[in-house]
């Protein structure tokens, strides 16, 4: 995967998280993980999952939900599954 | 009085895996509903009503039912059920509903909906099970606590309880400290079919509720300070209150019930390991008493607005496992206890910190004493001669 695409994915994911967690986009660093912000709690996490599903037209299964706990992991998951190309 | 049936076609088909959850929430839709059922296939909802609704009532009922369905079904994530233990096929000799025999023998006395007094047989059984749960607590050197039945409203507010479980709250008040109000009450208070006839203006504002759980009291006792020694194991028994409207039936679902909890507070690994050790120790206990049961992942009964996300989160992170005892008389199961992990939710909300300054993690194992006794009787009957040797000897 080329760097441009990775950067685009990262930006898109950061925007989705900012919207889902209702925080300014500059608070969503690539290293941000579940629990780092008070807004990224259980409810916030499920909001993130649902926004990802809507935005990428995907269905995240129950097994995966527990693993998508950082911005980097979310990006890797989307790329590995071929949801961004 | 015969019930009127109202069938509503659901705008969204209700998947089978959500059918029970939706049905349980329909109980809170309207006071006119005597019974609510999601039909097989999930396309319709059948309501039993006390009287035929006029067109306005009908429209209002339909709106509210569709709201419940939409909020629970739209975008729902199918929860994966993980089974940790399965002993449902353990042979048990009894197959009748013990409630009928308990009522006939006056072992239970219904006082009001969801409220029962229990007699000597049940009390002894409950005491026996309580002893087993205390042995579990002792095996962890759990410190004993006694907590109040009442809980301040601001406590529940601080842990987001109002948003998550508004439907099951039980409020406490008293007469306003006003001589005229007290005099008026003393002279005029009477009960009719709707309850006490006193106007709400006679009562003070609500600062206190009946406690819905035992462990919250411990978390508040530890709030806003570093955790002493870095970890705590505690145990307490308490009367808990969860209002469940028309879902309140027999000893299976009580408005007030007794819960014994063993509570773990500390680092993540400590809490998770303790929960797992507790499960393994209880598996040996349940084998000794011959209980037919299964331990499977579950979710708390969040209200409709929170249900979809919270339940999916609990399931995904394997936060809750229920001990579901078999009820042979209805080929169903009943949750008699649970193994819970709350991550660092209470640590963060209540500022309970570990030595490194990070929020503490919490977990608890909880046992419903009346349900435990009821499930045992449903499997073994009321005659001690039919009980497993271990139980019979302990109660001899």
The CA distance from B77 to the nearest CA of chain A, in Å, is 7
| pLDDT of B1 | 54
Q: Is B97 helix (H, G, I), strand (E, B) or coil?
A: coil
Complete DSSP assignment for B219-273: HHHTTTEEPGGG-EEEEEEEEEE---GGG--TTTS-SEEEEEEEEEEE-HHHHHH
- Residue A47 touches partner B, C-beta closer than 8 Å: yes
Per-residue confidence in pLDDT tens, chain B, 396 aa? 578 999 999 999 999 989 988 999 999 999 999 999 999 999 999 999 988 999 999 999 999 999 999 999 987 877 888 999 999 999 999 999 999 999 999 999 999 999 999 999 999 999 999 999 999 999 999 999 999 999 999 999 999 999 999 999 999 999 999 999 999 999 999 999 889 999 999 999 999 999 999 999 999 999 999 999 999 999 999 999 999 998 888 999 999 999 999 999 999 999 999 999 999 999 999 999 999 999 999 988 888 888 888 888 888 889 999 999 999 999 999 999 999 999 999 999 999 999 999 999 999 999 999 999 999 999 999 999 999 999 999 998
Residue A49 is inside which H or E element, if any? helix A42-56
- Residue B272 touches partner A, C-beta closer than 8 Å: no
Look at B313 and A43 and tell me if their CB atoms are within 8 Å: yes
Whole-complex ipTM: 0.74
- Residue B85 touches partner A, C-beta closer than 8 Å: no
Q: Return the CATH superfamily for domain A3-80.
A: ACP-like (1.10.1200.10)
Helices (H) and strands (E) in chain A, counts: 4, 0
- Cβ-Cβ pairs closer than 8 A, A with B, add up to 49
Q: Are strands B208-210 and B171-172 parallel, antiparallel or unpaired?
A: antiparallel
- Written in H, E and C, the secondary structure of B297-325 is ECCCCCCHHHHHHHHHHHHHCCCEEEEEE
Distance in angstroms (rounded) separating the CA atoms of residues B393 and B385: 10
- Residue B308 touches partner A, C-beta closer than 8 Å: yes
| pLDDT of B303 | 86
Q: Which pTM value belongs to this model? A: 0.91
pLDDT greater than 70 at residue A85: no
Instruction: Determine contact, residues B76/B35, Cβ cutoff 8 Å.
Output: no
Window 331-360 of B: residues touching A by CB (8 A cutoff) are 343-345, 348
Instruction: Determine contact, residues B8/B1, Cβ cutoff 8 Å.
Output: no
- Residue A82 touches partner B, C-beta closer than 8 Å: no
- Residue A71 touches partner B, C-beta closer than 8 Å: no
pLDDT greater than 70 at residue A1: no
Of B309, B312, B345, Cβ closest to residue A62: B312
């Amino acid at each position: 995967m080329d760097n441009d695409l990775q950067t685009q994915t990262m930006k898109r994911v950061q925007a989705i998280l900012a919207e889902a967690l209702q925080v300014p986009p500059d608070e969503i660093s690539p290293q941000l993980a579940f629990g780092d912000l008070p807004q990224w709690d259980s409810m916030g996490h499920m909001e993130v999952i649902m926004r990802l599903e809507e935005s990428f037209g995907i269905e995240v299964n129950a097994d995966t939900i527990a693993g998508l706990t950082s911005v980097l992991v979310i990006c890797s998951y989307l790329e590995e599954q071929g949801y961004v190309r | 009085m015969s019930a009127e049936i109202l069938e509503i076609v659901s705008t969204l088909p209700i998947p089978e895996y959500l059918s029970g959850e939706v049905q349980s929430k329909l109980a809170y839709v309207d006071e006119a509903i005597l019974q609510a059922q999601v039909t097989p296939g999930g396309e319709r909802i059948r309501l039993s009503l006390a009287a035929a609704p006029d067109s306005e009532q009908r429209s209002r009922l339909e709106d509210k039912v569709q709201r419940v369905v939409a909020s629970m079904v739209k975008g729902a994530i199918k929860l994966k059920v993980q089974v940790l233990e399965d002993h449902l096929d353990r042979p048990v000799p009894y197959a009748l509903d013990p409630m009928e025999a308990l009522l006939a023998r006056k072992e239970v006395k219904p006082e009001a909906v969801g409220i029962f007094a229990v007699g000597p047989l049940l009390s002894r059984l409950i005491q026996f099970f309580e002893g087993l749960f205390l042995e579990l607590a002792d095996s962890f050197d759990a410190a004993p606590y006694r907590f109040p039945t009442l809980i301040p409203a601001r406590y529940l507010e601080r842990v987001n309880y109002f948003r998550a479980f508004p439907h099951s709250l039980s409020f406490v008040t008293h007469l306003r400290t006003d001589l005229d109000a007290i005099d008026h009450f003393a002279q005029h208070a009477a009960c009719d079919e709707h309850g006490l006839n006193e106007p709400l203006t006679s009562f003070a504002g609500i600062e206190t509720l009946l406690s819905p759980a035992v462990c919250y009291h411990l978390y508040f006792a530890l709030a806003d300070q570093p955790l002493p020694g870095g970890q705590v194991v505690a145990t307490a028994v308490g009367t808990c209150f969860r209002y469940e409207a028309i879902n309140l039936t027999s000893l299976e679902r009580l408005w007030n019930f007794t819960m014994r909890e063993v509570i773990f507070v500390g680092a993540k690994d400590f809490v998770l390991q303790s929960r797992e050790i507790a499960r393994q120790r209880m598996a040996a206990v349940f084998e000794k008493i011959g209980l037919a049961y299964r331990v499977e992942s579950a979710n708390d009964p969040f209200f409709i607005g929170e249900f979809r996300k919270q339940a999916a989160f609990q399931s995904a992170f394997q936060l809750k496992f229920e001990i579901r005892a078999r009820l042979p008389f209805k080929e169903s199961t009943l949750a008699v206890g649970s193994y819970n992990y709350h991550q660092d939710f209470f640590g963060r909300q209540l500022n309970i910190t570990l030595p490194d300054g990070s929020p503490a993690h919490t977990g608890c194992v909880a046992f419903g004493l009346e349900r435990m006794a009821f499930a045992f009787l449903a499997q073994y009957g009321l005659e001690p001669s039919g009980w497993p040797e271990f139980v019979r000897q302990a109660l001899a």
